[in-house]
Amino acid sequence: MQAGRGTAKPAIGIALEGDIGNRIDVVLAVAMLNGFSTKSEARSIALGIASSSVKSAQLADAIVGFYSARPVGGSAMIGMLEGGRSTADAPALAPMLSKKAADGTPQYTSEILRSLDTADDGILIRNMILAQNDENAAIVLAGPATGLARLMSLYGSRPQIVTKVKRLVVAVGTFPTGSPDRDITTDVAAARKVFAEWPTAIVAVGSEVGAALPYPGSSIEHDFDWSPVHPIVDAYGVFKPMPYDAPAAALAAVLYAVHPDESYFTLSEPGTISVLDDGRTQFAPAASGKHRYLIVDPAQKDRIIKVYTDMVSARPAPRGRGRGGDENPAADVADRLDRQDAGTAVHAAGSERA
């Protein structure tokens, strides 16, 4: 819910559109948004899968369910592209869904069985930003731009975006130029459309930022001991053999989206980002340009990594019982171990497919 007349504006609402099935930094970004939610610094309003992968949607549902008030049930806030691959797909993180508990039952479950169990991601994000106060939403893209291109094509979307979305932060490409990006080559036309036609300013977070500010594997090994089972730990282990530090452009994008004025990063001069045929991005300085990209300040590295680890490893916000019998074991663990005050956790929101 957003503030009504005469009430304080709530924390900014973040819609994350990312390749959660193939990018570990997107998984970490979902956890990071939980951390910001517990501190009442942001609210998660939608999670777009940026692909037609049912298994990716199931993975998202399991992770969101871990942080929400229900054991499963994150699907109301999860959007997925129409068409494309079926339930036979196999994103890189799909093996996490096969993990078993000690009694042989699935460690992670989802109520998503087919694409129709989710919303169309473009429509979901449109509906959720419309529910926000003016200029109190931000969108983070960390995957193919197909869903955002779909959002832009919806009737009346341009004035809605201008009114509601404070900023778009895009964690794709390399800046000022670099190698082809898989998330762009997946749908070059969509990336071009977003960079060329998005009606507000865009801040890009390149792969060079993710490489310079990786998420430390030591945090995965030590900072999640408060829960005997944790989907972030399991996903991190499935993605690559431990130990490793994960490039984390999506985390930098979320951090900037939530706290753009905290001097974590330096901004480039204004310019225009174009998308080349081979999937490379290219930045051209221009005083009238609406695009900028983040530049890492080495002096801020330790400060940023501390925010990363604190927010990603944060416990779910303690929840009360008695809501229709629903309980969240992870939140119960957090409540028992640390009865801290916490703000609003990840918000679930639904949408009908058009």
Q: Tens digit of pLDDT for each residue in 133-180?
A: 999 999 999 999 999 999 999 999 999 999 999 999 999 999 999 999
Residue 10 within any structural domain of the chain: no
Question: How many domains is the chain partitioned into structurally?
Answer: 1
Domain containing residue 144: 16-337
Residue 71 within any structural domain of the chain: yes
In tens, the pLDDT along 47-83 reads: 999 988 999 999 999 999 999 855 444 567 899 987 5
Residue 178 within any structural domain of the chain: yes
Residue 175 within any structural domain of the chain: yes
Domain of 164: which CATH number?
3.90.245.10
What's the residue count for the chain?
Answer: 354
Residue 202 within any structural domain of the chain: yes
pTM: 0.87
- Report the distance separating Cα 49 and Cα 298, nearest Å: 32
Residue 256 within any structural domain of the chain: yes
Residue 347 within any structural domain of the chain: no
In tens, the pLDDT along 275-322 reads: 999 999 999 999 999 999 999 999 999 999 999 999 999 999 765 433
Residue 154 within any structural domain of the chain: yes
